[in-house]
Amino acid sequence: MSNPQVGGDSKLFARGKVAELRLELNSGGKKDKNFSQKKVALKKIVANMTMSNNEMVQLFPDIIQCMNIPNLEIKKMCYLFLVNYARMKPELAVKAIPVLEQDMEDNNPLVRALTLRTMSYVHVKEFVEATVPIVKQMLRDADPYVRKTAAYCVAKLYDHDRHMVEHSDLIERLNSLLRDDNPTVVASALAGLMDIWERSDAIKLTIDYSNASKMVAILPDCSEWGQTYILEALMSYVPQEAGEATLLAERIAPRLSHSNSAVVLTCIRVILYLMNYIADEKQISALCRKLSPARRPEVLRNDIRVFFCKYNDPIYVKVTKLELIFMLANEKNIDEVLTELREYATEVDVHFVRKAVRAIGKLAIKIEPAARRCINLLLELVATKVPYIVQEATVVIRNIFRKYPNQYESIIGTLCENLDSLDEPEAKAAMVWVIGQYAARIENSDVLLEDFLYSFAEEPVEVQLALLTATVKLFIQRPTKGQDLVPKVLKWATEETDNPDLRDRAYMYWRLLSTDMNIAKQIVMGEKPPITAESEKLDPQTLEEMCLNVGTLATIYLKPVQTVFRSARPPPPAGQPRAPEGPPPDLAKLADVRDPEAPVDARHGRPTRARAHLEPGRPRWVR
């Protein structure tokens, strides 16, 4: 069956004429007790608004008249019109202020809240000035829904005129709501205060243990977003002793099982922050066992199977899981990890297969006792003769040779059997490096290089550089085999190329070979810089910042939060939250209760932590 309402609503989106709509707005007599005709006309006007029909602004006087109708549905549509067109016609919009002020006296709290929200949304000077006394009154309204709305409106007014809000008592009035009996009102007040605090240099937010404890106590009674606001606010709390931090961490830990991911991630962030103040390793270990989705390696390592890919995971999720699996792999779980990676390397998605093959090679470098198992798996994959698998395997095997020189050269023959599969620059350059590095052990190394040199002029610079170096290595190790190739390649690289890097390297080799062969051998065949898995780790400072920004895009891009969000402030160093630089406003006594004579960290102007084991600015999980 078709829905008649859908068909009826679609007719509303016909481009209407102002004169016709005005007639419909003013139609309907006393018999129309439900104002059905006016509702239809208003729906048409709203539909035209969504189609950017600015001719509707001519109906402003008629809309203001309709605002007097005691019907919530009509008021909603009229207020939507007002918010949409007020800045276009401010001289007409101000005529609606008396009607809005009258609606503030309505017995229905939904009407009062809707009216207050509408007034605070209009970015017109007269509306902002008229809203201030009303907000002050509504912050003390008998209905919690109205008080909640008023709390958000203070933040909205701050967006319109921050100077006016900072020099009024709105912050103190909003602050008084933190003592409200209704948890939703408290959470809304915190949200408003934090929104203002994030954008203000004059207003600071600091929290003592008493208030932090009260906020944690109301968590179960708040909505999911209210819980998020409360947990965010706890990042401004500075524990004065380890017991406070431990107790708060244990009290918020039940939020880790919440169904809303924002609540869980914010809870993780707060617990990671509080861990910096906990000295007892047993208590830290107990908290780590509860933090299954956190970023501490010791937390995640026992749950590595959580990150195994599902068949229906999006590709970006699979790639991220693959990175996590690599980071969490160790000697204990390597067999399980390699079994999983073998499955990934046979999937359909080429991009994901390449990532899986490369991960196997990186694991051989990261976990030395497992290197042989990783290499055997790579050879097993190379045997499939799938071109992109062979190419990725060739690239990672080159790195394995550099990590473990003179250990796994027996597999070179297998690589040489698959030269025809190499058509990508990185794979070609990797294979050429292997041939040049081990020219003395590969019987037909000169023939293999000569095959690559047939297309020297057409190759990318990456391959040309590899061929140049490999030819020189061949000549140094087997002069009789390379004496014909070296002059030819040096001539190509110096006279027939436009690339300065290739040309300069060729001149350098030419001078080395024509001056002293022993020195040339020491330079060209000298020890290579070691390859390690350390490059996969974050530097301590970045790791600290990422842990304090769990749940934000900063952790996806691995960049400071202020570079991802232009208006964001950098997070406080672990254990050193933002503290007021002067006397803060009375945020429901959420002032810094620390001793004013306490020692101050000269670097940051912030009180130092009392416990010596907590190095300022360095979280406990950075070793």
Hunting for tokens 């409106």 — which residue is that? 153
Q: Is 359 a residue whose pLDDT tops 90?
A: yes
What percent of the chain is predicted at pLDDT more than 90? 19
* Confidence tier at 385 by pLDDT (50, 70, 90): confident
Distance CA 234, CA 207 (A): 8
The full DSSP string for 446-471 is HHHHHHHHTTGGGS-HHHHHHHHHHH
Q: Can you read off the two tokens belonging to residue 450?
A: 């000569």
Q: Are the CB atoms for 440 and 478 separated by under 8 Å?
A: yes
State residue 597's pLDDT score. 35
Q: Other C-beta atoms within 10 Å of 610: how many?
A: 14
Distance CA 327, CA 343 (A): 19
Q: Is 29 a residue whose pLDDT tops 80?
A: no
Distance CA 208, CA 589 (A): 8
Comparison of pLDDT for 53 and 215, the residue scoring more: 215
Q: What residue type is assigned to position 597 of the chain?
A: E
pLDDT digits (tens, 9 = 90+) for 498-522: 889 999 999 999 888 888 888 888 8
Q: Apex CA 468: angle with CA 465 and CA 469, to 5°?
A: 90
Q: Is 609 a residue whose pLDDT tops 70?
A: no
What phi, psi does 521 have (nearest 5°)? -65, -40
Tell me the HSE value of 510 on the side-chain side, using a 13 A CA sphere. Answer: 15
Q: Is 111 a residue whose pLDDT tops 50?
A: yes
* DSSP helix/strand/coil, 207: strand
Comparison of pLDDT for 569 and 213, the residue scoring more: 213
Q: Can you read off the two tokens belonging to residue 140?
A: 């003390």
pLDDT digits (tens, 9 = 90+) for 476-505: 888 888 888 888 899 898 888 888 999 999
Region class of 605: left (phi > 0), else alpha (psi between -120 and 50), else beta: left
Q: Is 621 a residue whose pLDDT tops 50?
A: no
Write down the domain spans for the chain.
Answer: 313-423
Q: Can you read off the two tokens belonging to residue 326?
A: 């690599």
What phi, psi does 508 have (nearest 5°)? -65, -45
Q: Is 122 a residue whose pLDDT tops 80?
A: yes
Distance CA 84, CA 74 (A): 16
Distance CA 481, CA 388 (A): 32
Comparison of pLDDT for 335 and 14, the residue scoring more: 335
State residue 546's pLDDT score. 73
Q: Is 372 a residue whose pLDDT tops 50?
A: yes
C-alpha to C-alpha distances, 426 to 213, 469, 557, nearest whole angstrom? 58, 15, 26
State residue 571's pLDDT score. 53
Comparison of pLDDT for 620 and 19, the residue scoring more: 19
Distance CA 200, CA 198 (A): 6
Q: Is 622 a residue whose pLDDT tops 60?
A: no
State residue 11's pLDDT score. 62
What percent of the chain is predicted at pLDDT more than 70? 82
* Confidence tier at 21 by pLDDT (50, 70, 90): confident
State which of 135-144, 315-324, 417-426, 539-548 shows the largest mean pLDDT. 135-144
Distance CA 563, CA 516 (A): 52
Q: What average pLDDT does the chain have?
A: 80
Distance CA 66, CA 280 (A): 66
Comparison of pLDDT for 609 and 467, the residue scoring more: 467
State residue 563's pLDDT score. 66
Mean pLDDT to the nearest integer, 517-528: 84
Q: Are the CB atoms for 103 and 75 separated by under 8 Å?
A: yes
> 152: closest CA among 121, 183, 122?
121
Distance CA 334, CA 373 (A): 9
For residue 403, count CB atoms less than 10 angstroms from its CB and return exposed for 0-12, middle for 13-18, buried for 19 or more.
buried
Of the ranges 273-287, 301-315, 530-544, which one carries the lowest mean pLDDT score?
530-544
State residue 518's pLDDT score. 86
* Confidence tier at 339 by pLDDT (50, 70, 90): very high
State residue 418's pLDDT score. 79
Read off the DSSP letter of residue 574: T
Q: Is 309 a residue whose pLDDT tops 70?
A: yes
State residue 338's pLDDT score. 93
Q: Can you read off the two tokens belonging to residue 139?
A: 């912050």
State residue 176's pLDDT score. 85
State residue 142's pLDDT score. 92
Mean pLDDT to the nearest integer, 370-386: 90
pLDDT digits (tens, 9 = 90+) for 284-305: 888 887 775 445 445 455 568 8
Measured in residues, the chain has a length of 623
Q: Is 343 a residue whose pLDDT tops 80?
A: yes
Region class of 200: left (phi > 0), else alpha (psi between -120 and 50), else beta: beta
Q: Can you read off the two tokens belonging to residue 498?
A: 């436009």
Q: How far is CA 245 from the centre of its chain?
A: 27
Q: Are the CB atoms for 250 and 286 separated by under 8 Å?
A: no
Q: How far is CA 352 from the centre of its chain?
A: 22
Of the ranges 11-20, 197-206, 601-610, which one carries the lowest mean pLDDT score?
601-610
Q: What residue type is assigned to position 528 of the chain?
A: K
pLDDT digits (tens, 9 = 90+) for 388-424: 898 899 889 888 888 888 788 788 888 888 787 788 8
Distance CA 110, CA 82 (A): 18
Q: Is 182 a residue whose pLDDT tops 60?
A: yes
State residue 360's pLDDT score. 93
> 448: closest CA among 412, 424, 408?
412
Distance CA 312, CA 320 (A): 14
Mean pLDDT to the nearest integer, 179-208: 83
| Bridge partner list, 606 | 601
State residue 533's pLDDT score. 65
Distance CA 506, CA 495 (A): 10
C-alpha to C-alpha distances, 407 to 87, 410, 431, nearest whole angstrom? 75, 8, 17
Q: Is 154 a residue whose pLDDT tops 90?
A: yes
Q: How far is CA 96 from the centre of its chain?
A: 43
Q: Other C-beta atoms within 10 Å of 25: how many?
A: 20
Q: Can you read off the two tokens belonging to residue 240?
A: 């004065």
Question: Diameter of the chain by CA atoms?
Answer: 111
Q: Is 221 a residue whose pLDDT tops 90?
A: no
Q: Other C-beta atoms within 10 Å of 399: how many?
A: 17
Mean pLDDT to the nearest integer, 113-131: 91
Distance CA 486, CA 417 (A): 25
Read off the DSSP letter of residue 54: G
Q: What residue type is assigned to position 319 of the chain?
A: V
